[in-house]
A and B are shown apart, each in its own frame.
Chain A
Amino acid sequence: MATAATTAVSVEERGGSRLSAAALIGPATFIVAAGLLIPIVILFRYSLNKFVPRLMMVDALTIESYVKFFTDAFYLGVFFTTVKVAMICTIACLIMGFPLAYALARTRTRYKNILIMLVVLPLFVGNAVRAAGWMTLFGSKGMINAGLVGFGLVDVPVQMMFTEGAVIVGIIAVNLPFMVLTLQSVIESIDRAVEEAAFSLGADPWHMFWRVLWPLALPGIVAGIILTFILGMNAYATPVLLGGPEFKMMAPLVFGQMQLGNWPFGAAVSFILMTTTLVLTVIAGLSLHKRYRR
């Protein structure tokens, strides 16, 4: 009886809101379809074409480009470097971002908005400008090396620019604000009393975190991981400017190929990049959620 009544109500509600829901998500759906899906389909079609050096792109249906990618040690190296760098950056952002987000969410200071602005501040500077700034700091004639040499701590400048480490630090600096803001909003929605309840029941701070805060913040953690991982996988300016000519990641590779006019291979690389990002994101999301699903 009660069940029948609720069902009836919810059916009615759903019917009534169907139209307005369509109106609300319509524009966004259109933009996504026109701006994302169509280019992806075209890109995929391109990736199956043939590249002939003088004629550029020739219509065909071949997986030549994909075979080339997965059989060449250089391209595979770029692929694994990209995945590795993105993962390291994501984990580092989570580990560094969580305490920061927690402090931001729980602070009672009047200057909270200013603190949030400080977190976002790095994003006000474009990637290229920021990378240029880092060069002045980390370059062989940069401030740190000038200091080290000046104090006689080292004889030759330490190679800091154009290393994988520099790229990782650079990407973390860009991605950290996204992680912090995502986590902060979720932590803010968790009732402080729930944390205190855990303490009063005998949980020390570690158990409180692991048994209460982490599972309740999980939706935000997953969102933050997805966001920073996607940004890391697709990083362009940072690897180019801080990694130098020798260091390659996927996004610069795609662009390089297209500059050379090799659209089929560039399209294939972007397709591999996109698919990998998607698959890894879904796996991460599902495995994190499974632990707490009921």
Chain B
Amino acid sequence: MARLELNQLSKRYGDFFAARDVTLDVADGEFLVLLGPSGCGKTTTLRMIAGFVEPTSGAVRIGDNDVTQLPAWKRNTGLVFQSYALFPHLTVAQNVAFGLEMRKAPRSEITQRVGEALELVRLGHLGDRLPRQLSGGQQQRVALARALAFQPDVLLLDEPLSNLDAKLRQEVRVEIRKLQQSLNLTTVMVTHDQEEALTMADRLVVMSEGAVRQVGSQRDLYERPADRFVAGFVGRSSFLSGSLETPERFRSAGGIAVACRPSTVAIGPATLALRPERVTVTPEAISDVENGFVGEVEFVSYLGGLIDLHVRLSPSDLVIAQIPNREDGFMPRTGDKVHVGWTVASASVFPGSGDDADSADL
């Protein structure tokens, strides 16, 4: 395994940037996840690493080598395709052996390594089957074994779980992560599934419109989103648009004054982002929070253990709150007046007041 570096990697189609100045540094044995909405350039970035898309500019380094000019077959990267792309005319064992055969490994070594790789994904008993005789989950594991058997420097996964049903996805998620950790694989995975990204990654990269928006741990992204896009994309946020009056006070367009932690955002038009589960909702006034307001419940969504509420604080300020389904039976209904509050540390402020500022990403 090796370290992977992307340096100012860009891909332009005509005058459209599918990826723009992507700079990343993946440590040896690290699991990095590229996360972002559809069309943001995740696959393009991954394919530039694998050697299937030629970058317009920038460089890819694997270990100590600049591989930017190398064709895919000389890069020693293991790639798992969304469609698995198993060779339909070869058995499971022959599929897994392919990479070793291309590297002219001796027969005995191939047999041994294929056995180990299949054992690793718990498919040792199915080596003689053809891919079409396997279930989707089994095919996925064969694809993984095939990409690992020849000991690649970097493992690349492009939405490897998107063709599996929800339950299987959860299991395979854990399996891949365990495998990656035990083999100390330098891994880059692409997904647009947040939960997948959050549960598997050492570090996440949020992309949008071809560019990297933020790189960090789950906690970094969630607690300290770098911009409005990240705040809306990772987890959920309610957005209030308005302006920053002092470094520690935000006033919404609807006139609500919110105390927030001192930020570096310039005084002037700004957007406030608030995590739903940081908002407390009570029947009576709350005393121990800095920001307390009264609002009217507009919408209630019962999620079992949790309840989702949309509370309107002013004609132009809507806050989403997620509260536990409590034993005492506090169960607001549409039209109820409730008290809403959150601490100073709960909100983030970003420059500029977007027009669609009260839309929350779900």
Interface residues of A (CB under 8 A from B): 191, 193-194, 196-204, 207-208, 211-212, 215-216, 292, 294
Contacts and interface: CB of A to CB of B under 8 A. Distances in A.
A198 B98 contact: yes
Contacts of B85: 191, 193-194, 196-197
Interface stretch (B29-37, B75-83, B196-204, B310-318): B75-83
B50 A200 contact: yes
Contacts of A202: 73-74, 76, 99, 102-103, 150
Nearest to A292: B89
Nearest to B83: A193
A242 B81 CA distance: 53
Nearest to A218: B89
B52 A201 contact: no
B87 A212 contact: yes
Nearest to B82: A193
Given A193-B85, A215-B89, A292-B89, A200 B79 contact: yes
A201 B88 contact: no
A215 B94 CA distance: 14
A198 B130 CA distance: 17
A292 B91 CA distance: 11
Interface of B: 50-52, 71-79, 81, 83, 85-89, 91, 98-99, 102-103, 130, 146-147, 150
Contacts of A199: 51-52, 71-73
Nearest to B98: A201
A20 B75 CA distance: 54
23 contacts: A191-B83, A196-B52, A196-B79, A197-B87, A197-B146, A198-B87, A199-B73, A200-B50, A200-B75, A200-B77, A201-B98, A201-B99, A201-B102, A201-B146, A202-B76, A202-B99, A202-B103, A207-B102, A208-B73, A211-B98, A216-B88, A292-B89, A294-B91
The DSSP consensus for interface residues of chain A is: helix
Contacts of B146: 197, 201
A215 B89 CA distance: 7
Q: Point out which of A193, A198, A201, A292 has the most chain B C-beta atoms below 10 A from its C-beta.
A: A201
Contact of B78 (A198, A200, A211): A200
Contacts of A204: 71, 73
Which 8 A-B pairs give the minimum distances between C-beta atoms? A202-B102, A193-B85, A201-B99, A200-B79, A197-B85, A199-B72, A199-B73, A215-B89
B72 A196 contact: yes
B83 A201 contact: no
Nearest to A193: B85
A203 B98 contact: yes
The DSSP consensus for interface residues of chain B is: loop
Contacts, number: 67
A208 B98 CA distance: 11
Contacts of B73: 199-204, 208
A46 B130 CA distance: 51
Nearest to A214: B89
Nearest to A203: B102
Nearest to A190: B88
Given A201-B98, A207-B102, A194 B87 contact: yes
A194 B51 CA distance: 15
A189 B89 CA distance: 14
Contacts of B79: 196-197, 200
Q: Point out which of B71, B79, B103 has the most chain A C-beta atoms below 10 A from its C-beta.
A: B79
Given A200-B147, A208-B73, 6 more contacts: A198-B87, A199-B51, A200-B72, A200-B79, A201-B99, A202-B74
Contacts of A208: 73
Contacts of A198: 87, 98
Contacts of A201: 73, 98-99, 102, 146-147, 150
Q: Point out which of A198, A208, A215, A216 has the most chain B C-beta atoms below 10 A from its C-beta.
A: A198
Contacts of A196: 52, 72, 79, 81, 85
A193 B158 CA distance: 12
Nearest to B97: A201
B12 to A, nearest CB: 17
Contacts of B130: 294
Contacts of A212: 87
A267 to B, nearest CB: 44
Contacts of B76: 202
A128 B50 CA distance: 53
B46 to A, nearest CB: 11
Nearest to A196: B52
A122 B52 CA distance: 36
A36 B209 CA distance: 64
Q: Point out which of A200, A203, A292 has the most chain B C-beta atoms below 10 A from its C-beta.
A: A200
A30 B77 CA distance: 57
Contacts of B74: 202
A202 B74 CA distance: 6
Contacts of A294: 91, 130
Nearest to B146: A201
Nearest to A207: B102
